Amino acid sequence: MSETPVYSRITGTGSHLPEKIITNADLEKILDTDDQWIRERTGIQQRHIAAEGETTSDLAYEAAVKAMQAAGVSADELDMIVVGTTTPDLVFPSTACLLQARLGANGCTAMDVNAACSGFIYGLSVADNFIRTGSKKKVLVVGAETLTRMVDWNDRTTAVLFGDGAGAVVLEASEAPGVLSTHLHAAGEYADLLTATAGVSKGFTAEERGGLKIEMKGNEVFKVAVRTLGRIVDETLEANGMEKSDIDFLVPHQANLRIISATAKKLGMDMDQVVVTVHKHGNTSSASVPMALDEAVRSGQIKPGMTVLLEAFGGGFTWGSALIKM
């Protein structure tokens, strides 16, 4: 007699944003830019900024608590914590370990995943595969960032883009399909198009390169992002024997409204089937997909039984998708 297949299902979502908001009008005072220029090129109107002393693990904790409450899962029930982040509190211990201690989930597996803006999708895939093997039953997956710590506020091409925040989901083992499939890719040959300028082995100071900051060749990133996200949409649908019309909602990485619109067009979806938060949050990297998902779930946009496509693209380059039955 064959065993019942094990799937993972999202049973709770949560998110958290820092209190401080910087609007486009605020940026006009310090940069050679204006609200219209920012909106036309990105769709962003404002972004949240972590307060002095407020860390990635602080944001992750608040989002995690909300997700666990929604799922009805306590810290001592967690088998694993995966945090997608490119802005950890420390080099080590991992942000996941710091979060584990704060939650009181001591003893479970805890790890960070760094795939830049694709970090949550990568983390979700890791958790899903652990559950499918039967080795884990309840996993907390978080995407959390304090990217504004790396922003060069004199560079208008990047300063207008990024914000801070955290989103989380609880995945639980289930006999009913939840996460239908995940698809992950990377292309390291594009590293110079979107990169941080310093690190541990390269050196944190790196005065000759201006210290730690984000550098991006925006036009090139846009072209590759639209092309690769289009391909992964086809890959995801083909893997599940589905048509574009089978997707109820798209929850994309919130980097740029033009990229989001291009992906929706590829799916033949109206924008009212796309969760858009980029205007309020900016690009929060690995936090953007789980935050957008949480907002859509709590607002009633996304309902149980819907088929939802999550996708993200980030520095590396990395990109990934997850097809989910809610």
Dist CA 55 CA 141 (whole Å):
18
So what's the pLDDT on residue 222?
Answer: 76
Domain-wise residue ranges, the chain = 7-176, 180-325
Q: What is the DSSP letter of 197?
A: S
More confident residue, 226 or 70: 70
Give the residue ranges of DSSP H helices in the chain.
24-28, 35-42, 56-71, 95-103, 119-133, 156-159, 218-239, 257-267, 278-281, 288-299
Of 24, 114, 256, 283, catalytic = 283
The CATH homologous superfamily for domain 180-325 is Thiolase/Chalcone synthase (3.40.47.10)
Which of 198-207, 221-230, 247-256 is most confident?
A: 247-256
pLDDT above 60 (res 303): yes
Is 219 part of the annotated catalytic residue set? no
Q: Is 117 a catalytic residue?
A: yes
- Confidence band, pLDDT 50/70/90 cuts, at residue 208: very low
Query: What DSSP letter does each residue of 19-88 carry, written as one string?
Result: SEEEEHHHHHTTSS--HHHHHHHH---EEEEPPTT--HHHHHHHHHHHHHHHHT--GGG-SEEEEE-SS-
Task: Based on the residue annotation, tell me whether 253 is a catalytic residue of this protein.
Answer: yes
Query: Given pLDDT bands bounded at 50, 70 and 90, which one contains residue 266?
Result: confident
The architecture that CATH gives domain 7-176 is 3-Layer(aba) Sandwich (3.40)
Query: Rounded to the nearest 10 degrees, how much is the dihedral formed by the CA atoms of 143, 156, 192, 205?
Result: -80
Q: What is the mean pLDDT of the chain?
A: 92
Instruction: Point out the catalytic residue in the list 117, 183, 256, 281.
Output: 117
pLDDT tens digits, 66-98: 999 999 999 999 999 999 999 999 999 999 999
HSE, CB side, 13 Å, CA atoms: give it for residue 146. Answer: 20
Check if 7-176 and 180-325 are the same fold. yes
Give the active site residue among 16, 48, 253, 281.
253
Least confident window among 110-114, 200-204, 220-224, 294-298: 200-204
pLDDT of residue 3: 67
In this structure, the number of other CB atoms found within 10 A of the CB of residue 199 comes to: 12
